[in-house]
Structure 1
Amino acid sequence: MATTDNDINVRLIEKINQVEEKYNQNFSNTQKILMTTDGSITAILDVLYGKIALKTLEQHFEEATAESAKLVNVDVGDEVNFREIIMHKDEQPLIYAKSYIPLKRLSKEIKEDLVRADIPIGRILKKYHIESRREINIIDMEKANDKLIEIYNTDEDFLARDYTIIKDGEILMWIKEYFPISYFTEI
């Protein structure tokens, strides 16, 4: 039996409800939208804040480890792009994200955009008219690690989600996004 859009929406609502119950939290509608969207988070932030910017913290090509190979469904040793970014507005960090992208699934032009400029993934997909879907794997709260404390100057808990972008039945990208629990509560 095929999974319907309604089934997927119910599953995402259940995931959010489970996290709210587990941590005794009530998330704002905006937080729920950011955690469950199967569209571009960049587009949502652009609507909320005006066009946001992206700052690349680190980006490099590397051989896939056992862990990263599993995340993007490639062989250990295949070349992947690792990228850490901050989506921000006027130097205020909004979303921190890290990603693995198997290079063998990208066109030359997309690879060039990925490494040349601070362009959000959502804008790259839109620029090249790439039809894809996002599959959300995990929605949870996490304790702040050293990197998140440094970026946001807080040790509060973070909402986190991990998802894949699927194109033609293959994982095009794995992404994990974070933002502090106090963010997006009044919008």
Structure 2
Amino acid sequence: MAQDKNEANKRLIEKMNDLEDDYGQKFSNTQKILLTTDGSITAILDVLYGKIELDTLDQHLEDADAEHAKLVNVNEGDEINFREVLMHKGEQPLIYAISHVPLGRCSKEVCNDLLRADIPIGRILKNYHIESRREVNNIFIEKPNDKLKELFGTDEDFLARDYVIINNDEILMWIKEMFPVSYFAEI
């Protein structure tokens, strides 16, 4: 297990180094932590800014298409919860995130909190003492769409990552988090 963890850490460091080389820019330690952590982004932001807030921009149940079924390892047509959120402190947006959660893998209480909205996933997992691990799949740069440009007031590139949260050897959630490349640069 320790060997697997060491290999995963080496892989993330290589991905981070490759991203810096490809983009032609060194990123701050805070940016690197936010992109590579296998812990809760919410907890990190709470430490940096005090307790952050979350606004749910969209949330709905949908049948998994082929792409989303693959992300969370379910059958095409299985019901998943799609959630799009903005983590912020006051009026300052911090992190934009989307998640896909196969509801069949959540307890009734966790599903209720997910559907109730405006509770960060990290806090939900902590509140219910859910033993889980995060595995970062990708770290990358993404061009903002119109929604991101409006939310963050910028058209600069975004740093992004996607990862899965695993519980009992099954994917509990797939999450993509992103923020403008100038954010967290000096912290």
TM-score range, shorter chain: over 0.9
Distance of 1:55 and 1:3 partners within structure 2: 38
Distance of 1:173 and 1:146 partners within structure 2: 26
User: How high is the sequence identity, in percent, across the aligned residues?
Assistant: 72
Runs of 4+ in 1 over 6 A off after TM superposition: none
Distance of 2:66 and 2:147 partners within structure 1: 23
Q: CA deviation at 1:144?
A: 1.3
Give the alignment's TM-score, normalised by structure 1.
0.98
Task: Classify the secondary structure of the residue corresponding to 2:118.
Answer: coil
Query: What amino acid is the match of 1:178?
Result: M
Q: Give the alignment of 1:118-137 within 5 angstroms.
A: 118-137=118-137
Determine the structure 1 residue equivalent to 2:160.
Answer: 160
Determine the structure 2 residue equivalent to 1:109.
Answer: 109
Determine the structure 2 residue equivalent to 1:47.
Answer: 47
Distance of 1:163 and 1:4 partners within structure 2: 16
Q: CA deviation at 1:2?
A: 7.6
Task: Classify the secondary structure of the residue corresponding to 2:172.
Answer: strand
Distance of 1:130 and 1:99 partners within structure 2: 17
Q: CA deviation at 1:147?
A: 1.5
Query: What amino acid is the match of 1:101?
Result: V
Q: CA deviation at 1:5?
A: 2.0
Q: Give the alignment of 1:13-32 within 5 angstroms.
A: 13-32=13-32
Determine the structure 1 residue equivalent to 2:93.
Answer: 93
Distance of 1:2 and 1:69 partners within structure 2: 30
CA deviations 1:63-99 (Å, max 9, x no partner) are 1111110100000110000000000001211000001
Distance of 1:108 and 1:162 partners within structure 2: 25
Determine the structure 2 residue equivalent to 1:6.
Answer: 6
Task: Classify the secondary structure of the residue corresponding to 2:25.
Answer: coil
Task: Classify the secondary structure of the residue corresponding to 2:6.
Answer: helix
Distance of 2:91 and 2:114 partners within structure 1: 21
Query: What amino acid is the match of 1:134?
Result: R
Equivalent pairs, count: 187
Task: Classify the secondary structure of the residue corresponding to 2:12.
Answer: helix
Distance of 1:91 and 1:172 partners within structure 2: 31
Distance of 1:99 and 1:117 partners within structure 2: 12
Q: CA deviation at 1:12?
A: 0.7
Determine the structure 2 residue equivalent to 1:146.
Answer: 146
Q: Give the alignment of 1:75-94 within 5 angstroms.
A: 75-94=75-94
CA deviations 1:98-146 (Å, max 9, x no partner) are 0100010011101111111310000000000000000100001111111
Distance of 2:117 and 2:179 partners within structure 1: 23
Query: What amino acid is the match of 1:5?
Result: K
In the alignment, structure 1 segments of 5+ residues that lack a partner are none
Q: CA deviation at 1:4?
A: 2.8
Distance of 1:144 and 1:109 partners within structure 2: 34
In the alignment, structure 2 segments of 5+ residues that lack a partner are none
Query: What amino acid is the match of 1:172?
Result: L
Give the alignment's TM-score, normalised by structure 2.
0.98
